[in-house]
Structure 1
Amino acid sequence: MATFDAHPEVPPKDASTVILIRDSASGPEVFLLRRVGGMAFAGGMTVFPGGGVDPQDADADVAWSGPPVSWWAERFGVDEGRAKALVCAAVRETFEECGVLLAGPTADTVVADTAGYAQARKQLEARELSFSEFLARENLVLRADLLRPWANWITPVGEGRRYDTRFFVAAAPAGQIADGETSEAAEVTWQTPAQAVTDWIEGRTMLLPPTWSQLSSIGEYDTVADVLAAEPEIPVILPTLYQEEDGSWQVRFPGQEPYYAAGAHPWGER
């Protein structure tokens, strides 16, 4: 059994991913998007909204409501500069990828309709406008208190593109509509974790281990309130790629047994 180290020199870049949740008659649902097939990273995979931290996220001068940056730094085990960038990236990427904006005109409100910010959203995605400029122009307060830290996964050594991703959870704000109006999404959906995993087992979607793992953890809760009240431990998870005797590549990670028992497909040709 060989390990995979074609690109051992590639350092991981910081990234933020947000698991948007809402209540339903069947329990919490999560918002998922299927990435465009030709994308360089995770093309065709079903994922949560998120993306890499932008250099401007670290320098963002924004009105802030919620736990101080020092609290986020402690929870994620990083310095305050990285913590601020991760939270700003989480809110920015969620807005860019699905139109949900975790910000409001005051420290205890959230915008009810983001349709009026459609042009700004396009500018943000094209990096023609910084997130701090957008919030300042619209007199909006970043609602860090609507986010909860959830997990930390790092792309395996050997991949050509690697990310040190912090996962957050957040309840979808009332009145806002999550959509797929982004160049990165082929389709979007709301599903319970169980439905999402069933689609994967039956071959209709593709889930990478971090996505499957978060679906499994969210599926343990009965309501959105229960999810938001949880305070999970956040170990750093760095999976390992290895090659089976048949030549297929697999990934080893904590709690992997149910993933492969459910019929996970090989990691892919390398």
Structure 2
Amino acid sequence: MDKREIRDAATVIVLRDRSTAPKILMGQRGAGAAFMPSKFVFPGGAVDAVDETVPFGRPLRQPCADRLAENSDRSPHGLAAAAIREFWEETGQQIGVPGKWPDAPRGWRGFAASGHWPDAAPLQFVFRAITPPGPPRRFDARFFLVEADALTTNPDDFSRAEEELSYLHWVPLSEARALDLPFITEVVLAEIAAGLNRDGPPEQVPFFHHEDERHLITRLAGRSPLDGV
């Protein structure tokens, strides 16, 4: 595997009404998209260099930061910042804390103009996956779970969203796997459903990747490989 051909990426899974009728926020990629056309996905995208430099109103919590650093050339800070930025761009929804940020860099000025700093504290690192060989683009994606209560914006208002994702809506978790989903998204949804009663981050984070034409799941902060997935 040539890692130079794989871009680091970050994705946000927002969970709403966990204890009553759990729902997650999803959108649909365009039919002409180069990567996963027409598929329903979680908001997210590639890490930009500027994401490594932005300040947080509150930092990423442990053990998430340590697990993000495991077997990774990308800093936990940059991954968390990219997740917040991409989520903001694709949905118009914000994970932040109030504060003035007059010198925000390009790519973050719209976020700063709302009067907020990015807030990494609510992010829980729950899954990592490298997309399989074959598609024209490949990503090493980190998935972060966030409770909807952490949003500083109206969770039903998508008027500020960019156009990369259409049909942004809250999907009942029990119905999400009936949508047209990438395989990895189906696996992540199963992990989210299994952890609904968990308080806090998972004990180990699944890492889906490839070796010798096999699909593998290993565990970050663990030692239990599962072959043939």
**Bin for the TM-score computed over the shorter chain:** 0.7 to 0.9
Q: Distance in 2 between matches of 1:135 and 1:99?
A: 9
CA distance in 2, matches of 1:27, 1:219: 12
- Counterpart residue identity of residue 88, structure 1: A
2:136 corresponds to: 160
Determine whether 1:12 maps to 2:21. no
Which residue does 1:208 correspond to in 2?
182
Which AA in structure 2 matches 1:161?
Answer: R
**Equivalents in 2 of 1:46, 1:166: separation in Å?**
17
Counterpart position of 1:129? 106
TM-score, structure 2 as length reference: 0.77
CA contact (8 A) 1:103 1:142 kept: yes
Conservation of the 8 A alpha-carbon contact between 2:27 and 2:168: yes
Give the Cα–Cα distance (whole angstroms) in 1 for the partners of residues 173 and 112 of structure 2. Answer: 36
Kindly tell me the number of residue pairs found equivalent between the two proteins. Answer: 212
Alignment of 1:229 onto 2:188? no
Q: Kindly state the Cα deviation for residue 56 of structure 1 after the two structures are TM-superposed.
A: 1.4
Q: Which amino acid in 1 is paired with 2:53?
A: D
Q: Distance in 2 between matches of 1:87 and 1:67?
A: 7
Is the 8 Å Cα contact of residues 148 and 169 (structure 1) preserved in structure 2? yes
Letter of the structure 2 residue corresponding to residue 129 of structure 1: R
For 2:49, the equivalent position in structure 1 comes to 55
Identity %: 25
For 1:1-270, what aligned pairs fall within 5 Å after superposition? 11-23=5-17, 27-60=21-54, 62-67=55-60, 72-76=64-68, 77=70, 82-105=75-98, 129-131=106-108, 133-134=109-110, 136-172=112-148, 173=151, 176-178=154-156, 179=158, 181-197=161-177, 199=178, 205-222=179-196, 226-227=197-198, 229-239=200-210, 252=215, 254=217
Q: CA deviation at 1:64?
A: 2.9
Q: CA RMSD in A?
A: 3.3
Q: Distance in 2 between matches of 1:73 and 1:9?
A: 22
CA change 1:81–1:164 in 2 (3 A) is closer
- For the 8 Å contact 1:14–1:164, the answer to whether it is kept is yes
TM-score relative to the length of structure 1: 0.66
Aligned residue type for 1:99: G
Give the deviation of 1:184 after TM superposition: 1.3
1:35 and 1:184 in contact (8 A); partners too: yes
Q: Higher helix proportion, which one?
A: 1
How many angstroms does 1:10 deviate by?
A: 5.9
Distance 2:129 2:74 in 1: 19
Give the CA deviation at 1:27. Answer: 3.1
User: How far 1:51 sits from its partner (Å)?
Assistant: 0.5
Give, in angstroms, the shift of residue 186 of structure 1. Answer: 2.6
Change (3 A) 1:196 1:256: farther
Q: What amino acid does structure 2 have at the position aligned with 1:169?
A: L
Instruction: Give the 3 Å change call, closer, same or farther, for CA 228–94 of structure 1 in structure 2.
Output: farther
**More displaced, 188-197 or 13-22?**
188-197
Instruction: Specify whether residues 98 and 144 from structure 1 end up closer, same or farther in structure 2 by C-alpha distance, changes over 3 A only.
Output: same
Deviation by residue 1:64-88 (Cα, 9 ceiling, x = unmatched): 30336x8644111166962111111
**In 2, are the aligned partners of 1:97 and 1:184 still within 8 Å (CA)?**
yes
Partner amino acid for 1:87?
A
1:166-185 deviation digits (Å, cap 9, x = unpaired): 00000123752253732112
Mapped contact 1:26–1:192 kept (Cα < 8 A): no
SS at match of 1:51: strand
SS in 2 for 1:104: strand
Helix, strand or coil for the counterpart of 2:174? helix
